[in-house]
Chain A
Amino acid sequence: SQTIHQWPATLVQPVGSPLSLECTVEGTSNPNLYWYRQAAGRGLQLLFYSVGIGQISSEVPQNLSASRPQDRQFILSSKKLLLSDSGFYLCAWNPGQVTYEQYFGPGTRLTVT
């Protein structure tokens, strides 16, 4: 069966520090991968998605970036965090075929102080 992992689970970082969040999927190959952000009490905002290694689409211009160095690994990064980057970051995957549902990881709670 397929599983999705995210780490770290929680993170507290000062303004201006770098960020690296990691997401890995097991039990599937060539998945579509997605990064979402959820601000407190708000809905989901799609940040990036990838349909293959090295293929990244950005949905919202900001100080975040994403990379996909391996087929089942998706990384969210920032060189300098802003207070507004605080939130709950969710990674999701999809088989990338005729089925459209996405499966979500447990999330990373990021607090920028």
Chain B
Amino acid sequence: GDSVTQMEGPVTLSEEAFLTINCTYTATGYPSLFWYVQYPGEGLQLLLKATKADDKGSNKGFEATYRKETTSFHLEKGSVQVSDSAVYFCALSSSYTDKLIFGTGTRLQVFP
């Protein structure tokens, strides 16, 4: 079945460092791909999305490119801030259903 694999966390960075959080997927059909962010004690917020191969989603300095050849959707940001500290979830739309398949989440900790 469809699945999403994220890199284990926590990812610990200094402020202004470059961020990459890896996400790979297995899916039938042509899923849409998403990144969600969860700040402590809050619900998930949609960060960005891509609906077809080679699409690049971007928001708030974060970006991710839908790579069908490598089945990946890695999240990147050029310069992280302390306020980016959160848990990041990669997700895909499950084929032929109305459900999303989530990865296990990656905690990002940014220190000043």
Query: B-contacting residues of A (Cβ < 8 Å)?
Result: 32, 34, 42-44, 46, 49, 51, 90, 92, 94, 96, 100-107, 109
**Which residue of chain B has its CB nearest to the CB of A100?**
B93
Q: Are A43 and B105 closer than 8 Å at their CB atoms? A: yes
Q: Are B43 and A46 closer than 8 Å at their CB atoms? A: no
* Total number of B residues with any Cβ neighbor in A under 8 Å: 19
- Beyond A44-B105, A51-B98: 13 further Cβ-contacts under 8 Å? A34-B99, A43-B103, A43-B104, A44-B102, A49-B98, A90-B43, A92-B44, A100-B98, A101-B32, A101-B49, A101-B100, A102-B46, A105-B43
A-B contact count (CB 8 A): 45
Q: A-facing mask of B59-76, CB < 8 A → 1, else 0?
A: 000000000000000000
Interface SS majority for chain A: strand
Cα-based distance from A92 to B41 in the complex (angstroms): 16
